[in-house]
Amino acid sequence: MSRTFRLGTRASQLALTQSRWVATALEAADPDARIELVEIRTTGDVDRQRALAQFSEVGIFTKQLQSALLDQQIDIAVHSLKDLPTVSPAGLLLAAVPEREDPSDVLVTALEADLADLPDGTVVGTGSPRRRGQLAARYPGLRFSELRGNIDTRMEKVRAGDPPAAILARAGLARVGRLDAIREVLGPEVMVPAPGQGALGIEVRVDDSESRALTSRIECSATRAAVTAERELLRVLEGGCRLPLGALATLEDETLHLRAILAAPDGSSSVTVRLTGPVGEPHALGAEAAQRFLQDPAGAELVARLR
């Protein structure tokens, strides 16, 4: 018997593109399922004036979607996983994590220069303390400005030279078909992405067995293991979007390799942790990485000051 599932999504271009992809994948997984998109405005969408680091509340891009789930206004919510708090509200479940896009950050610029060749004093647009911290530590001559808005808005500002360069997530550009805009892909040796970057998180109500069964069909176990380690590290450190933490886990031959960095937004100090662990124990790997940060005097000081 067919059922229509209401899928909640933010109304931005990227969010709608992601959600349409999820809808298509779900309908392909179960031909009897019908997916109806429901657009929901979140706090982060309504308030575009404040810098992201200035928000004191958790889940500015997810809370309204979660409330709609709990109120049974929707049946499924699609999130960019890097925006989703590490602890779900009572009654909700992270039911599926599809295969991840490339999680790398990228440089977009109107200048004929890669990141290492940008002249001192070049302004780089980014709203992320994590990106600022890692860039400032490696390239102290760069300057930074707040940059928010959808992908097209940010790229138009860069084309106009205000700012002349910006850092974006490759996954977002890939999903909206704008890989041509990339000047340089920044590997993890240059910039470690945010926990969960490039992955989607699909949330449902715990008691909705039909939605749980449907969404489980597009689960990627390798992606789930990697992002679980990254998000457990973030959870133990009690960090949100304001904590300038980069974390990336990759899977090789049943072993997870976790690289993480905590960098002060002004680049004045940073601490790096690298660990490996079995793919079946991602929570333990993330928790151990967190303890490594907390046991390091510089790491403990950064966590206490920045979270």
**Are 157 and 147 spatial neighbours (Cβ–Cβ below 8 Å)?**
yes
CB-based contact 5:214 (threshold 8 Å): yes
pLDDT, residue 220, reads: 98
CA distance 83 to 169: 13
Q: Distance between CA atoms of 213 and 217, rounded to whole angstroms?
A: 7
CA-derived radius of gyration, the chain: 19
Q: Tell me if 197 sits within 8 A of 231, measured CB to CB.
A: no
**119 falls in which pLDDT band (50, 70, 90)?**
very high
Write down the pTM of the prediction: 0.92
Q: pLDDT digit string (tens) for 245-278?
A: 999 999 999 999 999 999 999 999 999 999 999 9
Within 13 Å, how many C-alpha atoms sit on residue 187's CB side? 2
The count of C-alpha atoms lying within 13 angstroms of the C-alpha of 297, restricted to the half-sphere facing its C-beta, is 0
Lowest-pLDDT range of 12-21, 144-153, 280-289 = 144-153
Same fold, 3-99+199-219 and 230-306: no
pLDDT digits (tens, 9 = 90+) for 196-235: 999 999 999 999 999 999 999 999 999 999 999 999 999 9
Round the average pLDDT of the chain to a whole number and report it: 93
Residue 112 has pLDDT above 50, yes or no: yes
Query: What is the C-alpha separation between 230 and 225, in angstroms, rounded?
Result: 9
Structure-model confidence comparison of residues 74 and 242, the more confident one: 74
pLDDT for the residue 45: 60
pLDDT score of 104: 98
Residues 88-96: what's their mean pLDDT? 97
Homologous superfamily in CATH for domain 105-186: Periplasmic binding protein-like II (3.40.190.10)
| Segments making up each domain of the chain, as ranges | 3-99+199-219, 105-186, 230-306
Distance CA 66, CA 45 (A): 15
Instruction: Report CA-CA distances (Å) from 282 to 153, 195, 222.
Output: 37, 13, 11
Q: What percent of the chain has pLDDT over 90?
A: 87
Q: What is the pLDDT of residue 54?
A: 45
| 239-275 core/surface letters (b: 16 or more CB in 10 A; e: else) | bbbbbbbbbbbebeeeebbbbbbbbbbebeebbebeb
For the domain made up of 3-99+199-219, the CATH class stated in words is alpha beta
* pLDDT tens per residue across span 28-77: 999 999 999 999 987 656 545 545 554 445 567 799 999 999 999 999 99
At 107, the pLDDT band (50, 70, 90 cuts) reads very high
The confidence score (pLDDT) of residue 56 equals 44
* pLDDT tens figures, 173-183: 999 999 999 99
- Residue 151 clears pLDDT 60, i.e. is over it: yes
User: With helix as H, strand as E and coil as C, how does the chain read?
Assistant: CCEEEEEEECCCHHHHHHHHHHHHHHHHHCCCEEEEEEECCCHHHHCCCCCHHHCCCCCCCCHHHHHHHHCCCCCEEEEEHHHCCCCCCCCEEEEECCCCCCCCEEEEECCCCCHHHCCCCCEEECCCHHHHHHHHHHCCCCEEECCCCCHHHHHHHHHCCCCCEEEEEHHHHHHCCCHHHCCEEECCCCCCCCCCCCCEEEEEECCCHHHHHHHHHHCCHHHHHHHHHHHHHHHHCCCCCCCCEEEEEEEECCEEEEEEEEECCCCCCEEEEEEEEECCCHHHHHHHHHHHHHHCHHHHHHHHHHC
Return the active site residues: 83
Q: What sign for the dihedral angle of Cα 77, 81, 82, 86? A: positive
What pLDDT is recorded for position 307?
80
Q: Quote the CATH superfamily of domain 230-306.
A: Porphobilinogen deaminase, C-terminal domain (3.30.160.40)
